[in-house]
Structure 1
Amino acid sequence: MSTWTSKLGLALGLAALATAAATGAAAQQRGLRIAPPAGYCVDREAHSGPGIVLIGRCAGVANRPPAVLTVAMGKPASGLGIADQGKALAEFFTSQAGRAALSRSGRAKAVTVLEALTWRDAFLIRWRDAAAGRGAQGESWRAVLGLDGRLLTLTVTGTAAAPLDRDEGRKLIEGFVTAMTSANRRSAQGGD
């Protein structure tokens, strides 16, 4: 496959996953263990749609910042080779289509990309969305990675009342990536 068609395929896949995450229209995906970072729990009452999992600070936990974490899962084989696509991901998310995919309103003009970097096998991006939802912080972190062959996006957003600073957000997204990869590595090796 040529470079431009690879980039086009990657961009289309990311746009579809980002749109599915925003609208809750993703297909139900199974086989991945959802492992939030310490102090955060899956919200079993909230349902954002198939393939989307919402996570918040666990009840009674006060030593972790309040935040909304999400997991959006792609179809099987959608994440193959994603670990080597940092440059293409940075190009996509800084493009008009990529910024529109990050925006809660779907408007590229609302998004400013603040950082884009590779960390371990994940691509991390920090952005500010002028169209942040009510009660949500405008700045968010997202990790894009492949787990068990699936494209996965993990997102961390603080609350408007208690926004995460840059370092808190980065620490939380890195902890989220670590928890998810560790849980699924153990699962693949037959552990619980």
Structure 2
Amino acid sequence: MFTWTSKLGAVLAALTALSACVPSEMGMLSASASRAMAVSGGAVTVAGPTGYCVDKGPSRDSPTGAFVLLGTCAALTGSATTGQPTYPAILTATVLPGAPDGAFEEHLPAMAAFFRSDPGRAALSRSGRAEDVTLSQVLSRGDVLYLRLQDRSAVAGQPVESEYWRAILQVRGRIVTLSALGLQDRPVPTQEKRRVLEAFVARVLAANAAQG
């Protein structure tokens, strides 16, 4: 039976493919860095936690969804005054239209079950193959679902760590997925990925609450 989670999986798979490549120039000076980026016709604002900026160059926005890439402000601007995290992570956000009706928290158990299934793991995989993904942890905190996973898919651009954290939440009628990962040559400890992801979630929620 076709369900809302099936629709989420199909759209998420398309955006996972879009976000699969971390550009090789990531971490070099960029004039396109900013603290936040409005997507979905201005309905949703993606903003990073302290020390992180949006790299608008590789970020994308369209009617079918948006992808936003963030790195440390220090790396993107070349300014030491912006501060540099002890473990610099790479953050990504995808924004999808069509959040489910009702309280989002009510859908979290079904979403958790979906992502444990083969179709769900395929949707999370950069290669689209369920066998490339291992789901290590599934946690819910309020109306946010957190996933800790390993994606062993090959990636273009800069090689990233196979393990990362992802959060799924609802913002202003859209489904938003946020991720925190590290580069292979600059690994980020698991707990630090989770900490920065939680800060990312809080920052996005605050930025959009301010819109009214």
**TM-score by structure 1 length?**
0.85
| Residue of structure 1 aligned with 2:172, choices 148, 155, 162 | 148
Any unmatched runs of 5+ in structure 1? none
Q: Aligned pair 1:9/2:3, yes or no?
A: yes
* Number of the residue aligned with 1:45: 57
Alignment partners' CA distance in 2, 1:35 and 1:95: 31
| Residue of structure 1 aligned with 2:90, choices 45, 68, 75 | 68
* Number of the residue aligned with 1:162: 186
User: Sequence identity, in percent?
Assistant: 34
* Higher relative strand content: 2
**Runs ≥4 residues deviating over 4 A:** none
Alignment partners' CA distance in 2, 1:64 and 1:128: 23
Number of aligned residue pairs: give it. 179
Alignment partners' CA distance in 2, 1:155 and 1:137: 12
Q: Aligned pair 1:58/2:58, yes or no?
A: no
Q: CA deviation at 1:68?
A: 1.7
* Number of the residue aligned with 1:36: 48
Alignment partners' CA distance in 1, 2:171 and 2:127: 28
RMSD over equivalenced CA pairs, Å: 2.0
Q: CA deviation at 1:120?
A: 2.5
| Residue of structure 2 aligned with 1:91, choices 113, 118, 135 | 113
Deviations along 1:84-121, one digit per CA (max 9) or x if unpaired, are: 22211111111001111111111101111010010122
Change (3 A) 1:17 1:82: farther
**TM-score by structure 2 length?**
0.77
